[in-house]
C-alpha cells in the first residue's frame, strides 16, 4: 500500500518522507503502530489519541480520500491497493 505524508509530517524530525510503500497492515491501528515504531517521536505522539480509541486531535487520516472517522475508525481494514494520506490539521481558504 502507499502512504503519503503532507505539510510538516514531511519534515526530517517527523518522517522525512513524502511517500512510502509497505505491505498493508490489517487495520489502521496496526498501521499507526508500525509508523510510530518506525519514526518514533514526535510523529508517534500524533497518530493516536490518549486512549488509542481514535486518531489524535492534530492528525487527519484518510484512506482513499475518506477520513477514517467516516469509515470504521482505527478498526478500518486495509488492502494492498489502498492509498493512505496523513495530514496534520491545516486550514486556509
Partner 1 sequence: MNNGYIGRILRINLKNGTIRKEPLNDANASQYVGARGLGTKYFCDECDPACDPLGPGNNLVIMTGPLTGTAAPSSGRYNAVAKSPLTGTIGAANSGGHFGPELKFAGYDGIIFEDISEKPVYLYINDDEVELRDASHLWGRDVFDTTEALYEECGSNFRVACISAAGENGVLFAGIMNDKHRAAGRGGMGAVMGSKKLKAIAVKGTGSVKVARPEAFFNEIVEARDSLRAHPVTGAGLSAYGTMILVNIVNGVGGLPVNNGSEGSLFPNADEISGETLTARHLIRNKGCFGCPIGCGRLTEIKAGAFKSKGEGPEYEAGWSFGADCGIDDLGAVCNANFLCNQYGIDPITMGATVACAMELYKIGAITEEDVGFPLHFGDAAAMVRATEMTCKGEGFGKIMGLGSYRMAEKYGHPELSMSVKKQEMPAYDGRAIQGIGLEYATSNRGGCHVRGYMISPEVLGIPQAMDPLTTENKPAMLKVFQDLTALCDASGICLFTTFGIGLKEIAGMYREAVGSDESDEEILLKGERIWNLEKRFNIAAGVEKDTLPPRLLRETLPSGPAKGRVNELYTMLAEYYAARGWTKDGIPTDNKLEELGIK
Cell of 13: 524530525
Q: Number of residues in contact with partner 1, rule: CB under 8 A? A: 22
Q: Which of 69, 73, 77, 82 binds partner 1 (CB under 8 A)?
A: 69
Residues 6 or more apart in contact with residue 58 via CB below 8 angstroms: 46, 88, 89
Q: Are 39 and 17 in contact (CB under 8 A)?
A: no
Q: Name the residue nearer to partner 1 (CB basis): 25 or 73.
A: 73
Site for partner 1 in 36-65 (CB under 8 A): 58, 60, 62, 64-65
Residues 6 or more apart in contact with residue 13 via CB below 8 angstroms: 42
Q: Is 15 in the site for partner 1 (CB under 8 A)?
A: no
Residues that bind partner 1 (CB under 8 A): 6-8, 10, 18, 58, 60, 62, 64-67, 69-70, 85, 87-93
Amino acid at each position: 500500500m502507499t502512504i503519503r505524508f503532507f505539510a510538516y509530517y514531511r519534515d526530517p524530525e517527523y518522517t522525512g518522507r513524502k511517500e512510502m510503500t509497505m505491505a498493508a497492515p490489517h487495520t489502521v491501528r496496526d498501521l499507526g503502530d508500525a509508523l510510530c515504531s518506525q519514526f518514533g517521536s514526535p510523529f508517534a505522539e500524533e497518530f493516536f489519541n490518549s486512549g488509542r480509541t481514535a486518531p489524535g486531535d492534530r492528525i487527519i487520516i484518510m484512506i482513499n480520500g475518506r477520513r477514517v472517522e467516516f469509515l470504521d475508525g482505527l478498526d478500518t481494514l486495509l488492502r494492498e491497493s489502498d492509498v493512505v494520506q496523513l495530514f496534520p490539521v491545516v486550514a486556509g481558504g
